Amino acid sequence: MGGVNGAEALRALYALQEKDLEIDRLQKEVETLPEDLLALKAQVEAREAELMALLERQAELRKAYTRHSLDIEDLAAKEKQAEAEQRQAQSAREQTQYENRIQQIKDRIRELLELSTPIMEAMEEVEKEIAQVEETLAQLRPRLGELLAENAKRVEALKEEMARLKEVREAMAGGIPAPVLKEYEAIRRARKGAGVVRMLRQGQVFRCEGCNVVLPTHVAQKVVQGQLTRCPSCGRLLWKGEA
Ligand SMILES: [Zn+2]
């Protein structure tokens, strides 16, 4: 590639790049969520995490409470049985043995009831906290839904604009030699931005628009001639520009 055709291809490539950079900018906008949405989303997620932790705590407390209740039921049945057996007791000694046994069971039941009381209190506390967090979430979620819907609309509009630009871009690409386009695209992928830059005149020297390096004379000459040339410093294709 050289001469006037090369310069034309680079001019066309530079114009195509303007579309590509505009598409990049829109893509970035798509990916950037509005501040108010981000803030509310973070708030809702924090509350949801809080709720999860509370529900886990509630499940643990319920489990502990159930275990104590079952133990108490079990002991109550044993007490009843001991009382029945006591009525059948044949001797005073046997009576006393049952009495002791019944007393032991009663003590154990009282212990378990004492242990259950703070669990019940904690359960009530957790239930209150759950209700509060759920209420807060119920207040926050509709607004979050609104903001998400607004954002979806915003993104949709951006994507329509991008699709339109891509069509224009594809039409432009048709007029550029495939190897030039391919090289440009490879550079864009590697450099994440411009693939072709202008050569800027500054007094007696030429600089690369992309990295600002002063270009060696033989490079500048090639660029002026319209040869496909890359900046020796940043590797971007150089176009001599309109001047
Ligand atoms: Zn450069």
CA 143 to chain centre: 19
CA of 3 to the centre of ligand 1 (A): 21
Torsion of CA 71, 73, 76, 77, to 10 degrees: -110
CA of 168 to the centre of ligand 1 (A): 27
Predicted local distance difference test score (pLDDT) of residue 5: 74
pTM over 0.85: no
CA of 177 to the centre of ligand 1 (A): 22
pLDDT band at 157 (very low <50, low <70, confident <90, very high): very high
CA of 175 to the centre of ligand 1 (A): 25
CA of 27 to the centre of ligand 1 (A): 25
The DSSP H or E segment spanning 237 is: strand 237-239
Helical spans, DSSP H, in 88-177: 92-173
23 φ/ψ angles, rounded to the nearest 5 degrees: -65, -40
pLDDT above 90: percentage of residues in the chain: 93
Q: How many CB atoms lie within 10 A of CB 116?
A: 18
pLDDT at 192 over 90: no
Point out the least confidently predicted range of 1-5, 124-128, 203-207: 1-5
Q: Which two structure tokens, joined as six digits, stand for 64?
A: 């502990």
Residue 25 CA to residue 27 CA, distance in Å, equals 5
* Three-class secondary structure of residue 206 per DSSP: strand
Q: What is the mean pLDDT of residues 189-212?
A: 94
- Cβ-Cβ contacts under 8 Å for 63 (sequence gap 6 or more): none
Q: Using the structure block, give the residue that is written with the tokens 């932790």.
A: 53
CA of 45 to the centre of ligand 1 (A): 45
- Cβ-Cβ contacts under 8 Å for 36 (sequence gap 6 or more): 147
Q: What is the number of helices (H) and of strands (E) in the chain?
A: 5, 3
Amino acid at 69: S
Q: Using the structure block, give the residue that is written with the tokens 């006037």.
A: 4
CA of 220 to the centre of ligand 1 (A): 12
How many alpha carbons fall within 13 Å on the CB side of residue 154? 16
Predicted local distance difference test score (pLDDT) of residue 1: 47
